[in-house]
């Protein structure tokens, strides 16, 4: 209870009212009791109200009726209204609204035009609403209820307003308002769907004797999808009121027909339905008719359905349509739809079809093309909108009635009883349908069914709308089909939601495809705005660094909304498609976690594509952590259903020994099954098995057979394999002539891939005579078609300059064209061009972009390049965290070099990653266990330098020796240094030389310099200035400043080289150009000045500038090899 404070309210009264509205009733009452004078009357009314509402404890002397009387005597009108209400209607008036209504203007007097013209004396809707609202605002509960119900009527429908007023009345104890509000909460109309609130309000209505509340509560308790599912309680409630509420009989009948709550009992159900029918429950007529339809007693069902259909009942019209459809013939209904199509084609708009020419026939309507159509046409879908459940009676379900008709032939199943088959001739159909669809003369069964479906659909029966949409869809009237699917979908029809969303998505996909350039089937184009994100792992999935890109497509929003509703409704196919829409950002922001969850739901529900997708996710490890056991489980599940792709993938797992024990025979068997289903990769794998004798006897003739079969199916890869088989010198079916004939035949057919393969053969020579001119001509032909592989290969020919003169610009142009088609090798090479500045391109920023795109398409070396560029700060961006992200991708792909690189990130202090020896040790240890020598060496160094916990020199040396045994150059150099120092081992120059020689064989720069010095000074060997000069010269030209200084000294002394102070001066200048603080080099340079003239000094400087370019190029190449792999 409250009203707005007036200008005369005292602070005390205002504060009391504020506390009352805030719910602090005890404090408010304390302040109200302190009010005096003119405000006392209002205060007393408030106190009485709070006592009546039981929100405060009254004092001994406080009687609410006496307080209201005193307030009324003091001239406070709301107190008078409340007192009258208390005495006459047992507190049925909302006192707060009564106080607020003091200023309301009563409705004006009625005039003749305010009444309806039908002579029954009823008010028009607007005046009625105005009048009822006035009394509702005054607090009359019956008026609140009536106003709420008015707003639920179709004529003035406003569900939110209706729910609000019903809620006000329900709170004041109005039983029917409580019932109606509970129903609204159950259906989610005007208020959010809330089964708990529905139970509460329906429970209150039941306590006040509203029998229908028992039925509504039973709907909730017997709904298997409801979280409050309690069938025993539902049956108990219905049994309590079945004698008083006929609808309870009908609901009990439906329960006995469900066979999931009580034992199936058709006789008991029929007994209850007859009782409900006797009480005039229309739904009982329909349910009994359904039983007759199930028993094929159509003549008994028709009068019942007519009784209800005459009252414009949509479900009865739908069932009538099903009966007449059963006696229709495909051609008849086809003609009706064809007439409709012709009307659209000729006039450009939908014209009502002329169905009078359709013929009468007796065969079953419309053989379905898919499972959904079969379900619609072979089964009678007994969906009811009157009961708590949807009851379906499929023909293949054994019931008591079915057992009685087991001997019925197929023809009899279609035609039913004799009376029904002669409906048109006997005139029964005309009598039944005369008041429904008018004159049926000249119309066949299919025509009648079509009209009845349409009428039922127009009256809003969801199944009829869906059925009508299926008919239009099958006949190619897409716009009509989509319109009716949408109407059914808007009424929560799950299959309709899926069909509408699918059709809408296909339409949008077609529009997108027409606006984009065609691309090769094997190209996986990823959006350019790609980025890497790390999602937090949950208990079930170990999410890794995921591919995420912002390509939200808002035009798919409507398709997603309907598809999502269908998915939430349990449609497995919709769940899978929702998963894909989340993955692609179609109509919803991209969310890989949601995508996986929906895909898993669909897979668990039996969708084959979802199951196969889950298998691939666990197999490839691109989104989920690799789990080969789970991958095999999913592959096997789909393969057991005969899916060709799954059979092949499972066979591949057995062939490679991934997730299962390697078994070539099992793999071969699975390949055979997959190939029998026409799967081309399986044919190719079978051929490879026969070539290598894996899982079968070696038989190259059978390999030839399967490859030829794959070629016939249009496989370009099989052309390559078959040509290779013919060209193999060890092949029993070797025939270069066949290879050439095969390729030339394919070339004559215009197959680009065959042109490319033939051009490779001509360019490389060998079994086919080398013909560069012909090879280049073929390659140019494929290039002219824009083939990305050909563009790349011709570009590399110009880049390498072996067949044609080197032309960097031409190479860059061709490879760039290939890269624009997302060919990974071309993208990677463009990154190299940008990094090295080849072809007048020198943009490290572009190199980043090219490497990133190549990485997105699975080219691991590109991720290595990106990681190194971020780590070394090439391009001006040094970001260890980003480098670590790319290294982790490589680690997940088992790229050996990545373990050491990832560890290296944690061994350098940086702004975004601190030194973490434990983390570095972890990755190096994992790599060492994988027998990666670099990891073993780096881990050994950490132990030698005591940078890790429980450091051990012995263990460190063991690891370094293991790396050296695998010829890892850094380990060889380290051991050589140890033998030269003589600290951990006795000094042994000869062993040091042995290690250095092995390292030099791998172009190890420091080893080259050190070995040159040992030859120079005869450490562990005789002095050999010639070998020393060669080694030091090699190291010096690669930029090693120690080698440059030592080589300068050799030129000064004429040791192993002709004495030349100019050359000595040149190498000294070069040494200082890279380190101008090198004291030994400075002193040596100064010592040379006295031996050189000004002209010789100038010549030395010119030579140094010349060599500086060579050294820079060599150094750049070495860096590129480290960075680019």
Which DSSP helix (H) or strand (E) runs through 545?
strand 545-549
Q: Are residues 42 and 152 in the same domain?
A: no
Determine the Cα–Cα distance for residues 302 and 314; give it in Å rounded to an integer: 15
How many Cβ atoms are within 10 Å of 97's Cβ, its own excluded? Answer: 20
User: 245: which residues sit within 8 A by CB, 6+ positions away?
Assistant: 211, 212, 214, 215
Is residue 1121 in a domain?
Answer: no
Is residue 742 in a domain?
Answer: no
User: 45: which residues sit within 8 A by CB, 6+ positions away?
Assistant: 1, 67, 68, 71, 76, 78, 79, 82, 95
- What is the structure's pLDDT at 1007? 92
User: 220: which residues sit within 8 A by CB, 6+ positions away?
Assistant: 186, 195, 198, 199, 202, 226, 228, 234, 388
Could you give the C-alpha distances from 477 to 366, 367, 466, in angstroms and in order? 16, 18, 14
Structural domain total, the chain: 5
Q: pLDDT digits over 1072-1095, tens only? A: 887 888 889 999 989 988 888 989
* Residue 158 near residue 129 (C-beta atoms within 8 A): no
Q: Are residues 406 and 338 in the same domain?
A: yes
Is residue 35 in a domain?
Answer: yes
Whose CA is closest to 167, among 154, 189, 156, 155? 189
Q: Are residues 552 and 491 in the same domain?
A: no
Residue 402 has pLDDT above 70, yes or no: no
Q: pLDDT digits over 346-400, tens only? A: 444 433 333 233 333 322 222 333 333 333 333 334 443 333 333 333 333 333 3
Q: Which among 618, 641, 664 is the end of a domain?
A: 641
* Residue 937 near residue 974 (C-beta atoms within 8 A): yes
DSSP-based three-state secondary structure for 965: helix
Per-residue tokens: 170: 């329900």
Determine the Cα–Cα distance for residues 455 and 435; give it in Å rounded to an integer: 13
Q: pLDDT digits over 505-540, tens only? A: 888 888 776 655 443 333 333 333 333 333 444 434
Determine the Cα–Cα distance for residues 1098 and 1107; give it in Å rounded to an integer: 14
How many Cβ atoms are within 10 Å of 119's Cβ, its own excluded? Answer: 7
Q: Are residues 503 and 531 in the same domain?
A: no
Q: What are residue 543's phi and psi, to 5 degrees?
A: -65, 135
DSSP-based three-state secondary structure for 801: coil
Region for 858 from its dihedrals, namely left if φ exceeds 0, alpha if ψ lies in -120 to 50, beta otherwise: left
Per-residue tokens: 43: 């205060």
* 791 vs 533 pLDDT, higher one: 791
Mean pLDDT of the chain: 77
Q: Are residues 549 and 634 in the same domain?
A: yes
- What is the structure's pLDDT at 1008? 93
Region for 642 from its dihedrals, namely left if φ exceeds 0, alpha if ψ lies in -120 to 50, beta otherwise: left
Q: Are residues 59 and 150 in the same domain?
A: no
265: Cα separation from own chain's centroid: 45
Query: DSSP strand E in 617-718: where?
Result: none
Determine the Cα–Cα distance for residues 467 and 448; give it in Å rounded to an integer: 14
* Residue 1017 near residue 1031 (C-beta atoms within 8 A): no
Is residue 1087 in a domain?
Answer: no
DSSP structure class, residue 769: P
Is residue 386 in a domain?
Answer: yes
Q: Are residues 532 and 427 in the same domain?
A: no
- Assign 87 a pLDDT band (cuts: 50, 70, 90): low
Determine the Cα–Cα distance for residues 926 and 899; give it in Å rounded to an integer: 8
- Assign 999 a pLDDT band (cuts: 50, 70, 90): very high
Q: pLDDT digits over 166-188, tens only? A: 988 888 888 899 999 999 988 88
Whose CA is closest to 842, among 854, 830, 825, 859? 830
- What is the structure's pLDDT at 106? 55
* Residue 329 near residue 446 (C-beta atoms within 8 A): yes
Q: At CB < 8 A and 24+ separation, what contacts does 913-918 make? A: 913/880, 913/881, 913/884, 917/942, 917/947, 917/948, 918/948, 918/949
Determine the Cα–Cα distance for residues 317 and 460; give it in Å rounded to an integer: 11
DSSP structure class, residue 38: G
Q: What are residue 902's phi and psi, to 5 degrees?
A: -65, -40
Determine the Cα–Cα distance for residues 1035 and 1043; give it in Å rounded to an integer: 6
DSSP-based three-state secondary structure for 81: helix
Whose CA is closest to 584, among 618, 613, 606, 621? 613
**Percent of the chain whose predicted confidence (pLDDT) is above 90:** 17
Per-residue tokens: 210: 């509203």
What does the DSSP assignment read for 833-878? HHHHTTTS---HHHHHHHHHHHHHTT-HHHHHHHHHHHHHTTTS--
Which DSSP helix (H) or strand (E) runs through 248?
helix 246-258
Whose CA is closest to 481, among 471, 489, 491? 471
Q: pLDDT digits over 222-239, tens only? A: 887 788 888 888 888 888
Q: pLDDT digits over 840-873, tens only? A: 555 666 788 888 888 888 888 888 888 888 877 7
Q: Are residues 397 and 534 in the same domain?
A: no
Q: What are residue 380's phi and psi, to 5 degrees?
A: -90, 115
Residue recorded with tokens 């060669």: 1030
Q: Are residues 415 and 449 in the same domain?
A: yes
Domain that holds residue 36: 11-99
* 361 vs 1102 pLDDT, higher one: 1102
Q: At CB < 8 A and 24+ separation, what contacts does 632-635 make? A: 632/659, 632/660, 634/603
Q: For the chain, report the end-to-end CA distance as a whole number of angstroms.
A: 80
Determine the Cα–Cα distance for residues 933 and 963; give it in Å rounded to an integer: 4
- Lowest mean pLDDT segment, chosen from 418-422, 652-656, 893-897: 418-422
Q: Which among 831, 858, 885 is the end of a domain?
A: 858
What does the DSSP assignment read for 443-478? --HHHHHHHHHHHHHHTT-HHHHHHHHHHHHHTT-H
- 278 half-sphere exposure, CB direction, 13 A CA radius: 8
Q: pLDDT digits over 892-937, tens only? A: 877 788 888 888 888 877 666 778 888 888 888 888 888 899 899 9
- What is the structure's pLDDT at 883? 83
User: 665: which residues sit within 8 A by CB, 6+ positions away?
Assistant: 695, 696
* Residue 71 near residue 45 (C-beta atoms within 8 A): yes
Cross-strand bridge partners of residue 94? none
Determine the Cα–Cα distance for residues 459 and 980; give it in Å rounded to an integer: 99
Q: Are residues 794 and 846 in the same domain?
A: yes
Determine the Cα–Cα distance for residues 619 and 648; give it in Å rounded to an integer: 13
Residue 1012 has pLDDT above 90, yes or no: yes
* Residue 1055 near residue 1026 (C-beta atoms within 8 A): no
Pairing of strands 530-534, 545-549: antiparallel
- Assign 6 a pLDDT band (cuts: 50, 70, 90): very low
Is residue 958 in a domain?
Answer: no
Is residue 1056 in a domain?
Answer: no
Q: Are residues 356 and 408 in the same domain?
A: yes
* Residue 596 near residue 579 (C-beta atoms within 8 A): yes
DSSP structure class, residue 567: H
Q: Are residues 341 and 387 in the same domain?
A: yes
User: 307: which residues sit within 8 A by CB, 6+ positions away?
Assistant: 285
Q: What is the CATH number of the domain that holds 194?
A: 1.25.40.10
Determine the Cα–Cα distance for residues 720 and 704; give it in Å rounded to an integer: 12
* 954 vs 836 pLDDT, higher one: 954
Residue 946 has pLDDT above 80, yes or no: yes
Whose CA is closest to 294, among 261, 322, 256, 317? 322
Could you give the C-alpha distances from 944 to 937, 950, 958, in angstroms and in order? 10, 11, 10
- Assign 791 a pLDDT band (cuts: 50, 70, 90): very high
DSSP-based three-state secondary structure for 264: coil
Per-residue tokens: 1079: 């004291």
Q: Which among 99, 117, 145 is the end of a domain?
A: 99
Burial of 522 (0-12, 13-18, 19+ CB in 10 A): exposed
Is residue 402 in a domain?
Answer: yes
Q: What are residue 379's phi and psi, to 5 degrees?
A: -115, 145
Which DSSP helix (H) or strand (E) runs through 532?
strand 530-534
């Amino acid at each position: 209870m409250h009203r707005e404070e007036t200008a005369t309210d005292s602070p005390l009264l205002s504060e009391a009212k504020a506390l009352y509205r805030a719910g602090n009733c005890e404090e408010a009452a304390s302040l109200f009791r302190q009010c005096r004078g003119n405000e006392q009357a209002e205060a007393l009314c408030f106190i009485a109200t709070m006592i009546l509402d039981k929100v405060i404890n009254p004092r001994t002397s406080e009687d609410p009726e006496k307080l209201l009387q005193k307030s009324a005597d003091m001239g406070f009108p709301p107190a008078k209204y409340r007192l009258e209400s208390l005495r006459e209607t047992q507190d049925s008036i909302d006192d707060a609204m009564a106080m607020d209504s003091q200023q309301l203007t009563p409705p004006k007097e009625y005039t003749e035009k305010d009444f309806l013209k039908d002579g029954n004396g009823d008010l028009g809707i607007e005046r009625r609403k105005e009048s009822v609202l006035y009394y509702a605002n005054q607090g009359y509960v019956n008026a609140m209820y009536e106003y709420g119900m008015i707003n639920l009527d179709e004529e003035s429908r406003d569900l939110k307003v209706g729910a609000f007023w019903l809620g006000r009345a329900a709170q004041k104890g109005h039983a029917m308002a409580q019932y109606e509000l509970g129903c609204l909460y159950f259906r989610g109309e005007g208020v959010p769907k809330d089964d708990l609130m529905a139970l509460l309000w329906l429970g209150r209505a039941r306590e006040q004797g509203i029998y229908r509340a028992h039925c509504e509560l039973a709907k909730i308790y017997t709904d298997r999808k409801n979280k409050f599912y309690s069938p025993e309680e539902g049956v108990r409630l219905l049994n309590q009121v079945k004698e008083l509420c006929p609808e309870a009989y009908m609901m009990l009948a439906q329960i006995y027909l469900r066979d999931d709550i009580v034992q199936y009992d058709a006789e008991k159900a029929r007994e209850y339905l007859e009782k409900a029918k006797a009480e005039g429950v229309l739904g009982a007529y329909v349910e009994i008719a359904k039983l007759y339809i199930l028993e094929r007693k159509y003549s008994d069902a028709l009068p019942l359905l007519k009784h209800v259909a005459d009252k414009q009942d949509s479900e009865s019209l739908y069932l009538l349509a099903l009966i007449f459809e059963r006696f229709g013939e495909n051609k008849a209904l086809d003609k009706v739809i064809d007439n409709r199509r012709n009307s659209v084609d000729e006039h450009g708009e939908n014209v009502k079809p002329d169905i009078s020419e359709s013929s009468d026939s007796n065969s079953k309507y419309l053989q379905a093309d898919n499972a959904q159509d079969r379900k619609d046409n072979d089964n009678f879908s007994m969906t009811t909108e009157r009961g708590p459940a949807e009851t379906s009676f499929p023909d293949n379900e054994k019931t008591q009635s079915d057992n009685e008709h087991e001997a019925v032939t197929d023809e009899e199943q279609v035609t039913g009883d004799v009376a029904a088959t002669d409906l048109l001739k006997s005139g029964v159909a005309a009598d039944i349908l005369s008041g429904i669809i008018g004159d049926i003369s000249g119309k066949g069964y299919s025509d009648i069914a079509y009209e009845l479906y349409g009428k039922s659909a127009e009256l809003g029966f969801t199944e009829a709308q869906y059925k009508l949409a299926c008919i239009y869809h099958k006949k190619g009237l897409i716009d009509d089909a989509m319109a009716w699917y949408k109407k059914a979908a808007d009424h929560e029809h799950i299959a309709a939601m899926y069909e509408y969303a699918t059709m809408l998505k296909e339409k949008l996909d077609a529009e997108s495809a027409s606006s984009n350039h065609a691309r090769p089937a094997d190209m996986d184009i990823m959006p350019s705005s790609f980025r890497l994100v790390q999602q937090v792992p949950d208990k079930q999935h170990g999410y890794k660094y995921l591919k995420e890109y912002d390509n939200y497509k808002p035009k798919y929003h409507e398709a997603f909304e309907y598809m999502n509703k269908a998915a939430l409704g349990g449609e497995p196919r919709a769940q899978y498609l929702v998963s894909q829409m989340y993955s692609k950002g179609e109509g919803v922001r991209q969310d890989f976690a949601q995508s996986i969850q929906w895909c898993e739901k669909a897979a668990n529900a039996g969708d084959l594509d979802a199951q196969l997708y889950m298998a691939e996710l666990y197999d490839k490890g691109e989104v989920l952590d690799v789990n080969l056991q789970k991958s095999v489980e999913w592959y096997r599940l789909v393969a057991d259903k005969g899916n060709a792709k799954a059979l092949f993938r499972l066979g591949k797992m057995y062939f490679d020994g991934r997730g299962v024990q390697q078994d070539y025979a099992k793999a071969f068997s699975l390949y055979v099954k997959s190939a029998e289903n026409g799967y081309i990769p399986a044919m190719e794998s079978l051929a490879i098995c026969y070539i290598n004798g894996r899982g079968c006897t070696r038989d190259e003739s059978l390999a030839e057979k399967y490859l030829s079969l794959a070629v016939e199916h249009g496989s370009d890869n099989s052309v390559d394999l078959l040509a290779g088989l013919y060209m193999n010198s060890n092949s029993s079916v070797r025939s270069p002539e066949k290879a050439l004939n095969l390729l030339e035949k394919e070339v004559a057919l215009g197959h680009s891939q065959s042109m490319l393969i033939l051009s490779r053969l001509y360019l490389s020579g060998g079994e086919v005579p080398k013909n560069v001119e012909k090879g280049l001509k073929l390659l140019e032909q494929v290039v002219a078609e824009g083939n990305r592989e050909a563009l790349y290969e011709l570009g590399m020919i110009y880049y390498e300059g072996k067949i044609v003169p080197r032309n960097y610009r031409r190479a860059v142009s061709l490879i760039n064209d290939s890269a624009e088609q997302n060919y990974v090798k071309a993208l990677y090479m463009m990154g190299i061009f940008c990094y090295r500045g080849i072809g007048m391109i020198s943009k490290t920023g572009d190199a980043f972009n090219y490497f990133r795109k190549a990485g997105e398409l699975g080219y691991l070396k590109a991720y290595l390049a990106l990681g190194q560029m971020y780590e070394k700060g090439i391009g001006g961006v040094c970001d260890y965290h980003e480098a670590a992200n790319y290294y982790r991708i490589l680690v997940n792909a088992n790229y050996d070099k990545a373990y050491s690189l990832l560890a290296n990130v944690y061994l350098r202090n940086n702004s975004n990653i601190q030194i973490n020896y434990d983390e570095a040790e972890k990755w190096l240890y994992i790599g060492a266990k994988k027998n990666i020598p670099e990891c073993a060496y780096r881990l050994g160094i950490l132990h030698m330098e005591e940078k890790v916990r429980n450091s051990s020199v012995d263990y460190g040396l063991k690891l370094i020796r293991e790396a050296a045994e695998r010829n890892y150059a850094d380990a060889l150099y380290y051991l050589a240094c140890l033998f030269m120092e003589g600290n951990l081992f006795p000094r042994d120059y000869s062993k040091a030389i042995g290690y250095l020689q092995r390292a030099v064989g791998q172009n190890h720069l420091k080893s080259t310099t050190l070995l040159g010095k040992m030859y120079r000074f005869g450490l562990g060997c005789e002095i050999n200035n010639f070998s020393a000069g060669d080694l030091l010269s090699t190291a010096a030209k690669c930029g090693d400043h120690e080698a440059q200084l030592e080589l300068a000294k050799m030129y000064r002394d004429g040791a192993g080289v002709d004495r030349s102070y100019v050359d000595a001066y040149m190498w000294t200048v070069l040494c200082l150009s890279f380190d101008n603080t090198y004291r030994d080099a400075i002193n040596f340079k100064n010592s040379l000045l006295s031996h050189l003239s000004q002209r010789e000094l100038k010549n030395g400087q010119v030579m140094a500038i010349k060599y500086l370019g060579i050294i820079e190029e060599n150094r750049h190449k070495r860096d590129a090899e480290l960075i680019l792999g």
